[in-house]
Amino acid sequence: MIIDRLYRESVDKSPICVGLDTRLEYLPEYILDSDITIEDKIFEFNKKIIDNTFDLVACYKVQIAFYESLGIEGLKAYSRTLKYIKEKGKISIADVKRGDISSTAQAYGKAHFEGDFEADFITVNPYMGIDSVSPYFKYMENGSKGIFMLIRTSNKGSEDFQGINIKDRELFMKVSDKCKEWGENFIGKEGFSSLGGVVGLTYPEEFLKIRRNNPNTFFLIPGYGAQGGSGKDIKEILKDGICGVINSSRGIITAHKRKVEDEDFIRPIRDNTLKMKEDIEKWLK
């Protein structure tokens, strides 16, 4: 199952997920100034990062919004990036945060689990209920695909809804209940479900509540680095074993800016990946 593969990569390599939230301003000057298409510029940047970090990380998360904002050429780079991750034998998470009624969700499933935009996992917003999640189950039944549904996100605005108390229990805990319930049919041999959850590192105490409530849920964990999370914050969360992948985007893929703008730009990016790996492993010992 894909979730077993992701777990093993997290244990054998590290629980790092590199976020390829690529913007034009993140590119080193030598690529940005080159006489090639936007598609080729974006893909060349991503390819260099993948080639020089795949031995250190569990997976890559590709946020579609940054590619959509560049139009057709951006989406071509998005497609090529997902295909290249697969070529390298690594796992891809398409950060698309889809959440709509059943018929629309079926189309989203076809778009992101098949064809030009095929990924191993996608992110899903469950706000519209089971109708917005169940259409993806058919792709998960044979273990080849998985989803991460939003539970407790790392942004400050999440307080507007996620932290609301309903009968003395936070809304995010009720969502975590549904994540556990809906994921029961997709548990792999490593003990985790292919229906995972997104929980931010910026709320470590709340994360622990969710972790205890969801023993079979594997997590996609944003909030490390630029958003303030550190290896120390995950010490308690992962003390009983790896239960998720920790995403860093800007903290890794912009490491070269204002330092190295030529072909050596990849060196500080790899260095920052190694530093993140060391930071996490220090607190897991």
Mean pLDDT along residues 252-281: 92
Cβ-count burial of 282 within 10 angstroms (0-12 exposed, 13-18 middle, 19+ buried)? Answer: exposed
d(CA 64, CA 83) in angstroms, rounded, equals 14
Q: What domains, with CATH codes, occur in the chain?
A: 2-284 (3.20.20.70)
| Least-confidence region, from 6-20, 132-146, 207-221, 229-243 | 229-243
pLDDT at residue 237 tops 80: yes
Active site residue 97: yes
pLDDT of residue 236: 80
Tens digits of residue pLDDT in 130-158: 999 999 999 999 999 999 999 998 777 77
Q: Comparing C-alpha atoms, which of 103, 124, 112 is closest to residue 75?
A: 112
Has residue 243 got a pLDDT over 90?
A: yes
Highest mean pLDDT among 63-67, 150-154, 256-260, 261-265: 63-67
Q: Which is more confidently placed, 97 or 225?
A: 97
Cα three-residue angle 199-221-197, rounded to 5 degrees: 50
pTM of the model: 0.95
CA distance 213 to 177: 8
Q: What is the mean pLDDT of residues 225-241?
A: 73
- 80, pLDDT greater than 90: yes
Q: Hey, what are 84's tokens?
A: 């290249």
Helix (H, G, I), strand (E, B) or coil at 121: strand
The residue whose two tokens read 């917005």 is: 132
Angle between helices 38-51 and 266-284 (to 10 degrees): 40
Q: What is the mean pLDDT of residues 257-264?
A: 88
Q: Per-residue pLDDT for 228 more than 70? A: no
Give 103's contacts (C-beta < 8 A, 6+ positions apart): none
Predicted confidence (pLDDT) per residue in 151-201, tens digit: 998 777 777 787 778 888 898 999 999 999 999 999 999 999 999 999 998
Alpha carbons 49 and 253: distance in angstroms, whole number: 8
Residue 227 pLDDT greater than 60, yes or no? no
Question: 45: which strand partners?
Answer: none
Residue 106 to residue 148: CA distance in whole angstroms: 16
Catalytic residue among 13, 97, 110, 209: 97
